[in-house]
Structure 1
């Protein structure tokens, strides 16, 4: 074993016929398993794991004395030969991490009576776990995780020697929880992991009480288990890891958890727990990780948590915790080295200076609370910080100079506070800094130009009226030269004051109309994002020539879009008039207004103003006025114009869309999910820049993760358009940023292939994704001429996964990368899709490589 052997395994014909032991583990052997291995009838041990073997497993039926068979960590495929399940002397069967498929034989436990270790995870096995396995009474280790097994988990009562049960990441059910009760007989059991399955119902208290005291790991995460956690959980005195997160548990967290003095990891996040955090958790002096985020916990952070001196990760975010961040708690948690997340709560008061005792902390997030006072200068002592997020509070004063010590910081977010003073010059020296958000504060003076400030894509400073830049931009005015500073000393404050008065008057006027004319609905819309040009129904009627059919440029379920002209400097505009007689249209208007409230981006269609009033006969009237996009939609370019998009155009459009989504998902506070991304909602401005529009189905995510629950009003009808809706939405899953990633992937594949996802050939389970995936080794067969033609004809000798004996150009490489990215984004499972930040980075790199030929 481990001899750096490579190449194919030679036939076993020259091996001694009496060979009993063969170990070729951990080499680089390739090709298939020789069939002749089945003739070594004296073998008792065959180890071929951790190689690169491919193809089918040969018939091993003649190896009647085989006791140990290890084929794990290869690329073997097909079904397991039935003869292997009939090797009655087999004690160890290792088939993990291959591409094997098929069902487990129903009599498996009878034909393998001596089996002790069954290792078959990370394959594609389906069907049920055979109940006959109960007859394998010598079993100590069952590992069938990450397959596609279904049905009810069988009883384990006749397996008293069981030590490990690993069944996670399947589609298994609990039934009446008999399997749980049967574990009382498994007195040596150490680890039970049945997470990420379809377990439902309540945890039976008696079964919890009777679980073997030997148990050290209990993982039930990512199921649909409901009800309360039985108090008897405190009897499992040897537990070191308890994972109950991502279920439907409710009620209070049981105080008996404080009896688990050997606990190292406690994860109860993403449930519906309510009430206060039990102070008894503070007695868990060996606890290293505590996750309680995304629940409905209230009250204050218990002082006793400061006694958990071993904690290195603590996440209490996305609850309704109040009170202050206690200095006593912070002082006791000085071993925190990974994470402290208290964000999205109702914490108040100032940040205690004891935060500086967290010398080894990697990430601190106290954003979206009601914290006041100054940013503690003691934070400068936390020299290992990589992420610091304090946005969405009421912090004031200047940014402390002591933060200059945070040389390794990668993410800094000070946005949406009341911070003042200048942007510190030391930020220019932070070479690791990738994201800096200082927007919506009262910062003043010039924006630095060196270091990270040279990369405008990662810097956000909007919403600071007293900031200026060396070069004027849409967000910032140009700084005055030093000689003219005095001249403008009084003019600037005067202009700001006048602007504020005018803006306030307009806001009050709009709000007056809004509140007077709203019906009993209590929903309101903030207009701070608009330019607040007051327009009436009469203005809209005139601008659209009495809503002339000739002016219609688009129509959807909830609104009609008209081309229009106002008597102002706006020029041509697009006016979206909502069909309020259509059920759900008013919700769509409100959703679009909420989504557009604070967003501004070059790849989003800019909203000019809104109109919320009544028409001439007293009916409610709602309209939004947008910039007019003169060059049509992506839908039109793909399917209604002659000729396919060039690869260069596809790359530019892909980058524009990805940039817009990355902004919505990661830079908006709170994040925004578009929910209806499709080619007809991607428009082009005069410069041919792609812009995303139509936020009528958008959702604002108030949770902490991209997959968190939406906090917006429910919208009637489908959450997207057929062909672009992610499959999980059809099964009732919550809105998430992963849904937008799916839609982006489909659009990318559509641009490359020229085929709509709703094309008639895509039916009966055959999709655009599967169409591309099946042809990935011969992409030229599925692409229209344009994406593989052009001037980027630098040849490359070999490209993996493409047809052999052909020469490939830079175009081919870029197309292949985009196809793979589109497939990855449109993966069926949300957890398999990349985050938009990574998608954006990938498509930027492809574009850069493509256009670098011209440089």
Structure 2
């Protein structure tokens, strides 16, 4: 949905409604107090909108409420005590807002059926309620990115079903000093614990040997940026499921472990790059007299060789199989904030984020699963990224297929962040003559053309399975800090059926028009088969746009005139 305006006040007349689902829209204004009249309401979902104001005290009248999800808005003020007295609540999720005040000390007593508590990315203060241990069904607790202070409740270790505990980025331990981090010892009874994050606090003391007795299912342990001293216990190697361990910026004596092996993706020789250009270049390139630049291009590639060597080694992060949750991506992007939105495509939105204790810059592509074809697009991208790896393709870090705070499917792809954005932002934005503030030099255009050609040559001829991109255009070409180009977005990609068969090697049996207007090959519109030649055509149009400063969808191209015809007439 794409609803605008405020939450309708007329909902108060729907006395029998059990579920109100208005998530992922553009709703503004405040939450109507009249929603408190929906006496039969069990599920209230309002996340990922632009709602403001405070939480109405009248919501405390929803005595049948089980799921409350109003995260990722701009809601401020305190949480009404009347709302926290609804004993039937199972999921209480208010993350990524501007809520403040303290959490009532008796929360675990007033919400005995609570299973998930998400209050992260807000402005809460005060201590963590000791009474949480009384809510024995708790599986998820997230208090991260707030201003909570005081000591950690030792009795949380009695929550045997707890599998996610995140308390990072607070001021815990700032008073009521912890003695030898016995809190970790108290958690050894949480046999299902998978995520434990206590980073960025004031926690002090010595790591106990009992850390080795934490859950065998623990995948993330974050203790970085505290005041922990002494050595790392030897028993930590018993945490066999651990994939992420953060203990940086403490006063620890590290284990003498052997260095991790890092695979290196070597740069191809200059001659191979030239062959890539020659093999991918079609007759359409002659329209812009591309052959005139071959001698200059040779010199450019030679001058770039040394500068690229220092970027050819793949980082250890890229070689790891990262596992990220919905909550982690939510925090990384500040609740998928509009301030972090860097792009919107056919099937989803892309957000800039800072991930984990290592503060890694990422780009998160969140699929809009209500859009027809989004699931198929996600599957296509996952299948493609599993089989490709090249210096001129966007580097994928991981994917996330989960559920959000209100039980809906959530799918996202996480990529390395490209500081210089898409090529589209460096070219004319539309057909009305507007140009970006920054312009590309001739050398930069040639370098980008070379990078894209190298990526296509790899996809078509040198990958494990040949792939047709089918949507090559400026917005799908991203530029790193050194202005090197990387091809991305494989939502429409197709694998060739059989690389050994001549016919199948050049086309698939997928018919119909796929791609973007202006860049898609004409034969696709006439029922032609998808083929590598279609990518070459799109690449030719891309070159024409780069060197003529004219978009293929410019308003001047009417009555049969196209960018191709325009260039042909003036050659």
Per the normalisation by structure 1, the TM-score is 0.37
* Corresponding residue of 1:807: 505
1:250 to 76, 83, 87: 76
Q: Write the mapping of 1:639-658 to structure 2, written as runs, cut at 5 A.
A: 641-642=296-297, 656=311
* Corresponding residue of 2:212: 380
Inter-CA distance 305–801: structure 2 relative to 1 (3 Å threshold): same
1:409 to 238, 242, 261: 242
- CA positional deviation for 1:271: 0.7
Give secondary structure in 2 for the equivalent of 1:226: coil
CA distance in 1: counterparts of 2:464 and 2:211, whole angstroms:
53
* Corresponding residue of 2:198: 366
CA distance in 2: counterparts of 1:220 and 1:347, whole angstroms:
31
1:736 to 319, 335, 353: 353
CA distance in 2: counterparts of 1:176 and 1:316, whole angstroms:
28
- Measured against aligned partners, the alpha-carbon deviations of 1:730-788 in whole angstroms (never above 9, x if no partner) come to xxx99635996499x9x8599xxx97754459647999xxxxxxxxxxxx9x9758953
Q: Write the mapping of 1:345-494 to structure 2, written as runs, cut at 5 A.
A: 345-348=170-173, 349-350=177-178, 351=181, 352=183, 353-382=185-214, 383-420=216-253, 422-423=254-255, 447-449=256-258, 453-456=259-262
* Corresponding residue of 1:342: 167
- Measured against aligned partners, the alpha-carbon deviations of 1:603-653 in whole angstroms (never above 9, x if no partner) come to xxxxxxxxxxxxxxxxxxxxxxxxxxxxxxxxxxx999425999xx99x96
* Corresponding residue of 1:325: 152
The structure whose RCO (Cα within 8 Å, separation 6+) is larger is 2
CA distance in 1: counterparts of 2:427 and 2:114, whole angstroms:
55
* Corresponding residue of 1:177: 8
- CA positional deviation for 1:379: 2.5
- CA positional deviation for 1:406: 1.1
- Measured against aligned partners, the alpha-carbon deviations of 1:79-130 in whole angstroms (never above 9, x if no partner) come to xxxxxxxxxxxxxxxxxxxxxxxxxxxxxxxxxxxxxxxxxxxxxxxxxxxx
8 Å CA contact 1:389, 1:413 repeated in 2: yes
Inter-CA distance 263–795: structure 2 relative to 1 (3 Å threshold): closer
8 Å CA contact 2:72, 2:335 repeated in 1: no
Give secondary structure in 2 for the equivalent of 1:331: helix
* Corresponding residue of 2:24: 196
CA distance in 2: counterparts of 1:654 and 1:215, whole angstroms:
61
CA distance in 1: counterparts of 2:243 and 2:79, whole angstroms:
35
Inter-CA distance 183–645: structure 2 relative to 1 (3 Å threshold): farther
Give secondary structure in 2 for the equivalent of 1:199: strand
Give secondary structure in 2 for the equivalent of 1:180: helix
Q: Write the mapping of 1:299-314 to structure 2, written as runs, cut at 5 A.
A: 299-314=126-141
8 Å CA contact 2:262, 2:316 repeated in 1: no
8 Å CA contact 2:7, 2:28 repeated in 1: no
1:272 to 98, 110, 115: 98
CA distance in 1: counterparts of 2:122 and 2:159, whole angstroms:
22
Give secondary structure in 1 for the equivalent of 2:149: coil
- CA positional deviation for 1:200: 1.4
Inter-CA distance 801–233: structure 2 relative to 1 (3 Å threshold): same
CA distance in 1: counterparts of 2:94 and 2:132, whole angstroms:
16
Which 5+ residue runs of structure 2 have no aligned equivalent?
A: 265-292, 323-327, 356-360, 366-389, 395-417, 436-448, 469-493, 508-530, 539-571
Inter-CA distance 703–785: structure 2 relative to 1 (3 Å threshold): closer
What is the CA RMSD across the aligned residues, in angstroms?
5.1
Give secondary structure in 2 for the equivalent of 1:354: helix
- Measured against aligned partners, the alpha-carbon deviations of 1:523-574 in whole angstroms (never above 9, x if no partner) come to xxxxxxxxxxxxxxxxxxxxxxxxxxxxxxxxxxxxxxxxxxxxxxxxxxxx
Inter-CA distance 735–742: structure 2 relative to 1 (3 Å threshold): closer
* Corresponding residue of 2:412: none
- Measured against aligned partners, the alpha-carbon deviations of 1:8-34 in whole angstroms (never above 9, x if no partner) come to xxxxxxxxxxxxxxxxxxxxxxxxxxx
8 Å CA contact 1:344, 1:704 repeated in 2: no
CA distance in 1: counterparts of 2:30 and 2:505, whole angstroms:
61
- CA positional deviation for 1:378: 2.5
Q: Write the mapping of 1:134-153 to structure 2, written as runs, cut at 5 A.
A: none
Give secondary structure in 2 for the equivalent of 1:305: helix
CA distance in 1: counterparts of 2:228 and 2:203, whole angstroms:
6
CA distance in 2: counterparts of 1:307 and 1:313, whole angstroms:
14
Give secondary structure in 1 for the equivalent of 2:210: helix
8 Å CA contact 2:232, 2:252 repeated in 1: yes
- CA positional deviation for 1:289: 0.6
CA distance in 1: counterparts of 2:464 and 2:98, whole angstroms:
57
* Corresponding residue of 2:408: none
Inter-CA distance 384–783: structure 2 relative to 1 (3 Å threshold): closer
Establish whether residue 291 from structure 1 lines up as the match of residue 138 from structure 2.
no
8 Å CA contact 2:108, 2:134 repeated in 1: yes
CA distance in 1: counterparts of 2:76 and 2:138, whole angstroms:
25
CA distance in 1: counterparts of 2:187 and 2:68, whole angstroms:
28
Inter-CA distance 805–381: structure 2 relative to 1 (3 Å threshold): same
CA distance in 1: counterparts of 2:431 and 2:309, whole angstroms:
27
8 Å CA contact 1:256, 1:280 repeated in 2: no
CA distance in 2: counterparts of 1:301 and 1:217, whole angstroms:
26
CA distance in 2: counterparts of 1:244 and 1:765, whole angstroms:
43
CA distance in 2: counterparts of 1:639 and 1:757, whole angstroms:
27
Inter-CA distance 742–265: structure 2 relative to 1 (3 Å threshold): closer
CA distance in 2: counterparts of 1:653 and 1:315, whole angstroms:
42
CA distance in 2: counterparts of 1:323 and 1:269, whole angstroms:
21
Inter-CA distance 279–763: structure 2 relative to 1 (3 Å threshold): farther
Inter-CA distance 234–640: structure 2 relative to 1 (3 Å threshold): farther
CA distance in 1: counterparts of 2:238 and 2:329, whole angstroms:
31
CA distance in 1: counterparts of 2:294 and 2:123, whole angstroms:
48
CA distance in 1: counterparts of 2:102 and 2:294, whole angstroms:
57
Give secondary structure in 1 for the equivalent of 2:82: helix
Which 5+ residue runs of structure 1 have no aligned equivalent?
A: 1-169, 424-446, 459-637, 668-701, 711-718, 768-779, 820-855
Give secondary structure in 2 for the equivalent of 1:258: helix
* Corresponding residue of 1:706: 332
Q: Write the mapping of 1:629-640 to structure 2, written as runs, cut at 5 A.
A: none
CA distance in 2: counterparts of 1:318 and 1:216, whole angstroms:
29
CA distance in 2: counterparts of 1:301 and 1:643, whole angstroms:
64
* Corresponding residue of 1:116: none
Inter-CA distance 798–358: structure 2 relative to 1 (3 Å threshold): closer
- Measured against aligned partners, the alpha-carbon deviations of 1:24-64 in whole angstroms (never above 9, x if no partner) come to xxxxxxxxxxxxxxxxxxxxxxxxxxxxxxxxxxxxxxxxx
Give secondary structure in 1 for the equivalent of 2:237: helix
- Measured against aligned partners, the alpha-carbon deviations of 1:427-458 in whole angstroms (never above 9, x if no partner) come to xxxxxxxxxxxxxxxxxxxx332xxx332589
CA distance in 1: counterparts of 2:21 and 2:193, whole angstroms:
30
